[in-house]
Amino acid sequence: MSRAILQVMIRGRVQGVGYRAWVEYQATASGLEGWVRNRRDGSVEALFAGAPTRVADMVALCRHGPPSARVDSVTSETASADELNLRGVGEKFSVLPTA
């Protein structure tokens, strides 16, 4: 089975609207590994790892976000498996502190 790992940046009104919790719920429900965190510039950054179609579906979901969010842009790039090491020990998907 192939595996995709994408690092995603989401910009817009995505902080203070439950975006990270929403990403954690959606990613976990999709069986993805990775993490999500706020950025000091007001964006949200996430890393998704898993089956390519599930990762692509998650990125598509990020373009809409939870009801209170207003997503202006979503960009993604291929990431390495080393980036997964930012997760909490023993966690499949983590909400990380602001970077």
Domains of the chain: 4-81 (3.30.70.100)
| Arithmetic mean of pLDDT, 72-88 | 95
DSSP, residue by residue, 65-99 = -STT-EEEEEEEEE--GGGGGGSPTT-SEEEPPP-
The yes-or-no verdict on residue 73 having pLDDT over 70 is yes
Please indicate whether residue 20 is annotated as part of the active site: yes
Name the pTM for this structure. Answer: 0.95
Given the residues 3, 11, 13, 20, the one annotated as active site: 20
Please indicate whether residue 38 is annotated as part of the active site: yes
How high is the mean pLDDT of the chain? Answer: 96
In the sheet that holds 70-78, the strands lie side by side as: 70-78, 4-13, 44-50, 33-38, 93-95
pLDDT tens track for 27-65: 999 999 999 999 999 999 999 999 999 999 999 999 999
